[in-house]
Structure 1
Amino acid sequence: MRNQNYRVRIKPKIKLKLAVLTLVIISALFFLLWLFIKSDFYNSTDIFEFKTPLAIEPINIRKAGKYPHYDLAKFKLPSGEFTEIQVNTEMAVNNKYCFSRVYKNGKFTRYQIVAYKNCI
């Protein structure tokens, strides 16, 4: 007896159920996407605050890439922790850089170089 290729036939009733189920799933996904776009979470603005400006001399400065004016400086903070910040070599005043803590919606995110007049 020779091997026969069997063809699975889906009944029209099952085809209709699969089409309706697919339509319901796609509609639900569109509805969830619409809710997300219209929600306050998606449209809310972030609040950035710059606190505790510090003027500190770096411990170590090294080149940070292909740009000639940007270097990576290592600082020791008054709390005793060390941090590396990308600095512009032209912003130093008396070999000191001014940077502050950046808070996004009340949570600390990073340190950022700010104008030296903010540290005076």
Structure 2
Amino acid sequence: MPNEFFTVQSMLTLSGATGATFVICNGLQTAFNFNPKWLGLLVAQIIVLAGVVASGGAGPMPYLVGVINGFLVYCSAAGATSAVGGGGAPPIARGQVPGQDAPLTPARRGFLTPWF
């Protein structure tokens, strides 16, 4: 049984980086009702590029591959959120009739609300 859920070594894998991106973005979405489309991409790129730096990437090619892998991590995390988070119609505010204009304050986002 591991002593830690995420380690530096586990975050250098596709599943570790995807899991960390998934948890960070969905946690921010739930806690602060904030998750623009670009947030997951930013988190994924930071995690992957930190991994490139930690593994001692020299020259431009490891960073280019890291950016491409960041997009892969983002797509994987967004796909997992969409698959698990149940799509369907967006939530509506109490008392609002479906089809009317959106309320002035958007509905609170849950942990698995799809990112886009």
Give the structure-2-normalised TM-score: 0.26
Higher helix share: 2
Structure whose alpha-carbon radius of gyration is higher: 1
Q: Whose RCO is larger (CA < 8 A, sep 6+)? A: 2
Give the structure-1-normalised TM-score: 0.26
Higher strand share: 1
